[in-house]
């Protein structure tokens, strides 16, 4: 076992302790979190489809935003090799997902896998495959450098890519990750803060406007030209990548636009064009001081962060490290001096918004998110603004993911259930201010979140293996709808301004037994739980049965459940059901 494998093993053991799960499942959770760049604590159990029949598919996750749809398909092996037989079986699993007839799919005994395939098919039918990105991951803690092009594993990988990467989908990727990729991703996501100071040598000519200084109110800005070697040295002398802590993009490797950056910067014929062809870098800092000494012109920078230009800076560093960077390569640099965190966030937002980033990333440093983080501590909960914010010393039961909080609040308090359930990207866009800036009390956020988490666990415990197809489907997909209804019954209406009552509900919940997160490991879990039920369960049970009845009694909903759950009409029908006068 090498050092990196030991790092992964230690991490998996810590997660196993945190989650109360076995090592195989804990490795899956770690790999899934790193591969999808999601919180370790936002995993949806309905996405876990492993269950036999040797299809070698562990997880299927559908991620929808306002402008793209991603389907993540993962096979995760807690082993140190790359089995060609497992990849061949995974190829068969992909064939079931994308090519088998519905009559064959309906015969699958793995119900979770079958339901997820039908969900993928429904999505394809709704938006068309050309609007879907498929990202397939085969992950172990082996060494990908040992995979040879002539190995059977490589041949099978090529076969899968040729089969599916043919223009049918917006994109299709099969990514093979091992211990190097996992540790590198951990290092990218778990940066510790460190101040980076630099004396950045610049090109300066007193007779030409080679440096532009700009002052406005209390803000300072500088635009200058810098040798690519200066940027490369900063990056190469910062192996942990602290200079990119505030950058919301990670280095994408020597592909795509980075391939073109590298080609331009390492060619004598094109290096002089780099200044004209590249967008340059954006740096924010606490302080900068330009020194216009003709013999040594430079800018003294304190606590610098490269907030835009990670791809450029890292590619130049790689070129310098390999000795291929051309001396005449120069890059435009914009430097902003400010200690105003909100302005820094705005600079990060506006300079990165053209790149593919998550809306959650863009808002992670918004002032309201820091306010939420502080407020959740009132109940000893740790509000996770961005993935990997909290380390192993924080109990998993105390970590709450901001995206889930936002969805819960949108569905339960604001009663916009279909958006919370099927259009969660709206919480960071259209509804952001309404969700996070509309109230001064923290209790509605806490209670709607706790209720939602209880609903998820309770539905999984009692209904996810039901023989009734409709009941099983709704148990997996209607958690926000059930949460909204259960909250109404629990509160006796929709009065979210009764802080005293909501506070009492939270305190009662926190004192109640809750075994839901331990059921996978505890064989006596169901017995223990039924002997000591949570006080919310009676409301959840009533809510779910009412919701099933509503769907079953409306033919248009029962025929197409997936579209029903997206429907604003269903939101209105739930409202009518709750406020229907008693006979």
Residue range 399-428, pLDDT digits in tens:
999 999 999 999 999 999 999 999 988 998
Structure confidence at residue 253 as a pLDDT band (50, 70, 90): confident
Strand partners, 383: 400
> Where in the chain are the domains?
3-189, 198-356, 404-578
DSSP-derived 3-state class of residue 334: strand
More confident residue, 227 or 216: 227
Structure confidence at residue 580 as a pLDDT band (50, 70, 90): confident
What pLDDT score does 218 carry?
A: 67
* Residue 122 predicted with pLDDT over 60: yes
Q: What is the mean pLDDT of residues 33-41?
A: 87
Measure the CA–CA gap between 500 and 173, rounded to whole angstroms. Answer: 52
Beta-carbon contacts of 48 under 8 Å, excluding residues fewer than 6 positions away, are 28, 58, 59, 112
What pLDDT score does 17 carry?
A: 84
Query: Which stretch, 201-215, 257-271, 401-415, 569-583, has highest mean pLDDT?
Result: 401-415
- 3-state helix/strand/coil string of 341-405: HHHHHHHHHHHHCCCCCCHHHHHCCCHHHHHHHHHHHHHCCEEECCCCCCCCCCCHHHEEEHHHH
* Residue 549 predicted with pLDDT over 90: yes
Query: pTM for the whole thing?
Result: 0.62
- By percentage, how much of the chain surpasses pLDDT 70? 89
**What is the per-residue pLDDT across 464-486, written as a single tens digit (0 to 9) for each?**
778 888 998 899 899 999 999 99
* Residue 348 predicted with pLDDT over 80: no
Instruction: Kindly tell me the burial class for residue 470, based on how many C-beta atoms sit within 10 Å of its own C-beta (0-12, 13-18, 19 or more).
Output: middle
Structure confidence at residue 513 as a pLDDT band (50, 70, 90): low
Beta-carbon contacts of 277 under 8 Å, excluding residues fewer than 6 positions away, are 264
Integer-rounded Cα radius of gyration of the chain = 26
Angle between helical axes of 537-552 and 443-463 (0-180°, round to 10): 70
Cβ proximity of 416 and 404 under 8 Å: no
Residue in the structure block whose two tokens are 């802080």? 499
* Residue 461 predicted with pLDDT over 60: yes
How does DSSP classify residue 172? E
* Residue 314 predicted with pLDDT over 90: yes
* Residue 152 predicted with pLDDT over 80: yes
Cβ proximity of 39 and 384 under 8 Å: yes
* Residue 516 predicted with pLDDT over 60: no
Measure the CA–CA gap between 132 and 68, rounded to whole angstroms. Answer: 7
Q: What is the mean pLDDT of residues 478-507?
A: 94
Measure the CA–CA gap between 39 and 406, rounded to whole angstroms. Answer: 15
Measure the CA–CA gap between 59 and 248, rounded to whole angstroms. Answer: 26
Measure the CA–CA gap between 65 and 82, rounded to whole angstroms. Answer: 33
Structure confidence at residue 35 as a pLDDT band (50, 70, 90): very high
Q: What is the mean pLDDT of residues 179-189?
A: 79
* Residue 216 predicted with pLDDT over 80: no
Measure the CA–CA gap between 353 and 121, rounded to whole angstroms. Answer: 31
What pLDDT score does 438 carry?
A: 62
What is the β-pairing status of strands 132-139 and 171-177? parallel
Q: How many CB atoms lie within 10 A of CB 169?
A: 20
* Residue 449 predicted with pLDDT over 90: yes
Q: What is the mean pLDDT of residues 318-343?
A: 87
Structure confidence at residue 258 as a pLDDT band (50, 70, 90): confident
What pLDDT score does 193 carry?
A: 44
* Residue 248 predicted with pLDDT over 70: no
Measure the CA–CA gap between 493 and 577, rounded to whole angstroms. Answer: 12
| Mean pLDDT value across the chain | 86
Residue in the structure block whose two tokens are 């105390």? 398
Task: Give the CA distances from residue 501 to residues 370, 487, 505, in Å, rounded to whole numbers and listed in that order.
Answer: 26, 12, 6
Mind giving me the DSSP string for 427-452?
GGTTTHHHHHSS-S-SHHHHHHHHHH
Angle between helical axes of 537-552 and 568-578 (0-180°, round to 10): 120
Measure the CA–CA gap between 228 and 250, rounded to whole angstroms. Answer: 20
Dihedral, CA of residue 533, residue 536, residue 541 and residue 544, to nearest 10: -140
* Residue 463 predicted with pLDDT over 50: yes
- Record the tokens describing residue 481, joined without a space: 């709808």
Cβ proximity of 71 and 133 under 8 Å: yes
Lowest-confidence segment of 22-31, 35-44, 292-301, 386-395 by average pLDDT: 386-395
Instruction: Kindly tell me the burial class for residue 426, based on how many C-beta atoms sit within 10 Å of its own C-beta (0-12, 13-18, 19 or more).
Output: buried
* Residue 535 predicted with pLDDT over 90: no
């Amino acid at each position: 076992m090498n050092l990196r494998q030991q790092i992964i093993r230690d991490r998996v053991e810590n997660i196993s302790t945190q989650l109360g799960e076995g090592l195989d499942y804990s490795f899956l959770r770690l790999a899934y979190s790193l591969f999808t760049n999601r919180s370790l604590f936002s995993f949806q159990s309905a996405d876990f489809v492993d269950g036999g029949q040797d299809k070698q598919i562990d997880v299927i996750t559908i991620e929808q935003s306002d402008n793209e749809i991603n389907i993540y398909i993962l096979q995760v092996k807690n082993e140190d090799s790359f089995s060609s037989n497992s990849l061949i079986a995974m190829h068969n699993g992909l064939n079931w997902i994308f090519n088998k007839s519905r009559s064959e799919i309906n015969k699958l005994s793995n119900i979770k896998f079958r339901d997820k395939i039908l969900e993928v098919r429904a999505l394809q039918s709704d938006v068309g495959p050309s609007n879907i990105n498929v990202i397939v991951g085969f992950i172990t803690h082996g060494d990908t450098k040992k995979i040879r092009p002539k190995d059977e594993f490589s041949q099978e990988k090529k076969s899968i890519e040729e089969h599916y990467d043919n223009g049918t989908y917006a994109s299709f990727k099969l990514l093979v990750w091992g211990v190097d990729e996992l540790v590198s991703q951990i290092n990218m996501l778990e940066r510790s803060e460190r101040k980076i100071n630099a004396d950045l040598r610049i090109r300066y000519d007193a007779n030409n406007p080679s440096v532009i200084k700009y002052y406005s109110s209390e803000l300072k800005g500088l635009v200058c030209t810098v040798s690519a070697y200066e940027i490369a040295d900063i990056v190469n002398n910062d192996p942990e990548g602290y200079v990119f802590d505030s950058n919301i993009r990670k280095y994408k490797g020597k592909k795509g636009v980075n391939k073109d950056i590298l080609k331009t910067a390492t060619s004598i014929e094109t290096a002089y064009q780099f200044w004209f062809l590249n967008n340059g870098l954006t740096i924010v800092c606490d302080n900068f001081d330009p020194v216009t000494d003709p013999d040594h012109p430079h800018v003294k920078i304190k606590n610098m962060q490269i907030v835009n230009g990670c791809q450029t800076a890292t590619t130049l560093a790689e070129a310098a490290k390999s000795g291929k960077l051309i001396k005449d390569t120069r890059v435009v640099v914009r430097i902003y001096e400010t200690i105003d965190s909100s302005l820094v966030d705005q600079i990060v937002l506006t300079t990165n918004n053209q790149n593919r980033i998550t809306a959650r990333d863009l808002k992670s440093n918004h002032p309201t998110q820091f306010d939420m983080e502080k407020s959740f501590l009132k109940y000893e909960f740790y509000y996770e603004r961005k993935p990997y914010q909290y380390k192993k010393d924080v109990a998993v039961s105390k970590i709450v993911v901001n995206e889930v909080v936002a969805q819960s609040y949108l569905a339960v308090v604001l009663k916009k259930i279909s958006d919370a359930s099927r259009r969660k990207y709206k919480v960071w866009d259209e509804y952001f201010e309404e969700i996070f800036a509309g109230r001064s009390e923290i209790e509605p956020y806490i209670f709607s979140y706790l209720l939602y988490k209880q609903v998820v666990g309770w539905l999984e415990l009692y209904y996810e293996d039901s023989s009734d197809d409709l009941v099983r489907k709704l148990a997996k997909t209607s958690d926000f709808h059930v949460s909204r209804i259960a909250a109404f019954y629990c509160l006796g209406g929709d009065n979210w301004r009764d802080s005293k009552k909501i506070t009492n509900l939270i305190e009662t919940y926190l004192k109640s037994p809750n075994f839901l997160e331990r059921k996978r490991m505890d064989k006596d879990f169901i017995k223990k739980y039924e002997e000591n039920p949570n006080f919310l369960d009676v409301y959840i049970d009533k809510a779910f049965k009412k919701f099933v009845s509503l769907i079953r009694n409306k033919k248009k909903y029962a025929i197409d459940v997936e579209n029903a759950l997206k429907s604003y009409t269903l939101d209105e029908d739930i409202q009518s059901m709750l406020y229907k006068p008693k006979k």
